[in-house]
C-alpha cells in the first residue's frame, strides 16, 4: 500500500470525527487540503525548535522538520508565517496560521482559544547561568535574592513564570531571544529561567561558559504540543500523524538531529 493511500485513509478518518453540527460547514482540515497549503506559525527565535535566518529568509529546526513531515502527510506544501511570542495569541485569533509550532507550551489561556495536539515533549522550567555560578541558582530561593539579575524574553511562558515566582531579584526584559544568552555569557545578566530543553541546547552552544541547572529536575512540569485552530478533524489528523511518526521512527530521527 502506498503513502498516498494511507494519507487518504487518515484524511477520511479525521473528517469523520467532526461532530454532526460542525460537519455542516467545511472543516479547517478540508480547507487546508483544498487550499493545498498548511500555514505554520513560527516565532523564529527559539532554537532548536525553530530559528529564522534573515540572510536567507528561511526557518530551520526541529519543528521545521516536523512541519515538513506533517505537510507531506497531508499532501500539501508548508507555508511558514513569522510571528512572535508577544503576539502569538493575537495572530492565532486572526487565523493567520492553521497550526502554531516551534516549542509551544500547553497553557490554559491557549487551550481556551484552540485545540492542542497530543503532547510531543515533557518539559519544565529551569535556570541557565555561567558555569561558575550554577550552584548559586539551584533553587528558586537561591535565585530570588536582591542583587540577582534575571533576564527574560517578553510575552511567553518564561516571563510569566518569572513574574509569578521571583519577587526580590531584578527582572530585566530583553527583546532579542536569539542573543539573550550572550547577555549572560558576557556578564550583563546572571541567569535566565527557560525550558530545560533550551538550557541543554544553549549549553552546547556555549561549552564551558553557560551551564544548565539540573535540567532533569526542572522547577515545574509542562508539556509541549502543537496549537491548532479549533477543528476536531484537524486535531484527529495531527494526533494520528504524531502517533505514526513515533511508531515508524520519524519522530526519533528528527529529535536526534536537533536535541542529541
Same domain, 109 and 231: yes
Same domain, 25 and 67: yes
Residue 68 belongs to some domain of the structure: yes
Residue 129 belongs to some domain of the structure: yes
Assign 107 to helix, strand or coil: coil
Same domain, 57 and 140: no
Given this model, what pLDDT does residue 14 score?
56
Residue 109 belongs to some domain of the structure: yes
Given this model, what pLDDT does residue 178 score?
87
Task: Provide mean pLDDT across the span 150-172.
Answer: 96
Same domain, 115 and 168: no
Same domain, 20 and 110: yes
Same domain, 87 and 200: no
Domain stop point among 212, 234, 249: 212
pLDDT at 60 over 60: yes
Over residues 191-241, the pLDDT tens digits come to 999 999 999 999 999 999 999 999 999 999 999 999 999 999 999 999 999
Q: What are the CA-CA distances from residue 28 to residues 12, 33, 38, 148, 174 (Å)?
A: 14, 9, 10, 47, 36
Same domain, 18 and 117: yes
Task: Provide mean pLDDT across the span 69-92.
Answer: 97
Residue 143 belongs to some domain of the structure: yes
pLDDT at 70 over 60: yes
Same domain, 175 and 94: no
CATH of the domain at 229: 3.40.190.10
Q: What is the CB neighbour count within 10 angstroms for residue 227?
A: 25
Given this model, what pLDDT does residue 25 score?
67
**Which residue range(s) make up the domain with 97?**
3-122+222-259
Assign 142 to helix, strand or coil: helix
Assign 69 to helix, strand or coil: helix
Q: How many domains does the chain have?
A: 2
Same domain, 40 and 118: yes
Q: Which residue reads 558555569 in cell numbers?
A: 131
pLDDT at 245 over 60: yes
Residue 217 belongs to some domain of the structure: no
Same domain, 141 and 60: no
Given this model, what pLDDT does residue 20 score?
46
pLDDT at 3 over 70: no
Over residues 16-43, the pLDDT tens digits come to 555 544 445 679 999 999 999 999 999 9
Residue 242 belongs to some domain of the structure: yes
Q: What whole-number distance in Å separates Cα of residue 65 and Cα of residue 62?
A: 5
Amino acid at each position: 500500500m502506498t503513502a498516498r493511500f494511507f494519507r487518504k485513509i487518515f484524511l477520511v478518518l479525521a473528517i469523520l470525527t467532526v461532530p454532526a453540527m460542525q460537519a455542516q460547514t467545511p472543516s479547517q482540515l478540508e480547507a487546508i487540503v483544498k487550499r493545498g497549503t498548511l500555514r505554520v506559525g513560527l516565532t523564529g527565535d527559539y532554537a532548536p525548535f525553530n530559528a529564522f535566518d534573515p540572510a536567507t529568509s528561511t526557518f530551520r529546526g526541529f519543528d521545521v522538520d516536523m512541519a515538513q513531515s506533517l505537510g507531506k502527510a497531508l499532501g500539501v506544501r508548508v507555508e511558514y508565517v513569522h510571528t512572535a511570542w508577544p503576539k502569538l495569541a493575537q495572530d492565532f485569533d486572526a487565523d493567520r496560521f492553521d497550526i502554531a509550532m516551534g516549542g509551544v507550551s500547553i497553557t490554559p489561556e491557549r487551550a481556551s482559544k484552540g485545540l492542542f495536539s497530543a503532547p510531543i515533549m515533557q518539559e519544565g522550567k529551569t535556570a541557565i547561568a555561567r558555569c561558575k555560578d550554577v550552584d548559586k541558582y539551584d533553587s528558586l530561593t537561591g535565585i530570588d535574592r536582591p542583587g540577582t539579575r534575571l533576564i527574560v524574553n517578553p510575552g511567553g511562558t518564561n516571563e510569566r513564570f518569572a513574574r509569578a515566582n521571583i519577587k526580590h531579584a531584578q527582572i530585566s526584559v530583553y527583546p532579542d531571544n536569539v542573543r539573550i544568552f550572550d547577555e549572560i555569557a558576557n556578564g550583563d545578566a546572571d541567569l535566565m529561567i527557560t525550558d530545560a530543553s533550551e538550557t541543554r541546547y544553549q549549553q552546547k552552544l556555549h561549552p564551558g561558559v553557560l551551564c544548565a541547572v539540573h535540567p532533569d529536575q526542572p522547577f515545574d512540569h509542562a508539556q509541549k504540543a502543537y496549537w491548532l485552530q479549533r477543528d476536531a478533524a484537524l486535531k484527529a489528523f495531527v494526533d494520528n500523524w504524531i502517533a505514526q511518526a513515533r511508531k515508524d521512527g520519524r519522530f526519533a530521527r528528527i529529535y536526534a538531529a536537533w536535541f542529541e
